């Protein structure tokens, strides 16, 4: 399969996906008509009206946990494809992953120095 055929196949898949999404949205809009209700737009908690505002602010210390989670989540997302091509590339792939893990380790050290791992 030539490069042009591969791009044509990719373009066809993207067009089919966009068409499917548009068609499903149109069917959902046509079939699922909404009915106006008096209390439909009021935020509720467990069937009762919420006594406090809906937009609750979270403490800033949770952002550090979230960033560290994302960093290590991305590490796993990049390690699976790396493990597949490791046998082909050999030492170059090992060095690339070493640099990647070193950068993540520096991020971990920075988070540790800022107290992101300290239990509150």
In a domain, 50, yes or no: no
Residue 56 has pLDDT above 80, yes or no: no
25 & 67 share domain: no
User: What average pLDDT is seen over the chain?
Assistant: 82
* pLDDT tens-digit map of 18-55: 999 999 999 998 888 777 776 666 666 666 666 666 66
β-partners of residue 21 are none
If we measure between CA atoms, which residue out of 66, 79, 58 comes closest to residue 116? 66
User: Do 101 and 67 share a structural domain?
Assistant: yes
Most confident of 10-19, 52-61, 79-88: 10-19
Burial class (CB in 10 A: 0-12, 13-18, 19+), 93: middle
Strand residue runs (E) in the chain? 44-45, 48-49
Number of structural domains (the chain) is 2
Say yes or no: 71 and 110 in one domain.
yes
Range of the domain at 95: 59-120
42 found inside a domain: no
Residues 27 and 63 in one domain: no
Instruction: Please report whether residue 41 resides in a domain.
Output: no
Question: Is a pLDDT exceeding 70 seen at residue 85?
Answer: yes
């Amino acid at each position: 399969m030539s490069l042009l055929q591969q791009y044509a196949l990719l373009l066809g898949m993207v067009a089919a996906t966009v068409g499917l999404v548009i068609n499903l949205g149109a069917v959902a809009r046509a079939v699922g008509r909404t009915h106006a209700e008096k209390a439909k737009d009021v935020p509720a908690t467990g069937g009762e009206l919420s006594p406090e505002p809906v937009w609750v602010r979270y403490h800033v210390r949770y952002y550090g946990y979230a960033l560290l989670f994302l960093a290590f989540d991305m590490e796993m997302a990049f390690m699976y494809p790396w493990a597949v091509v490791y046998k082909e590339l050999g030492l170059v792939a090992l060095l690339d992953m070493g640099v990647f893990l070193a950068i993540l380790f520096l991020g971990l050290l920075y988070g540790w120095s800022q107290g992101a791992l300290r239990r509150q």
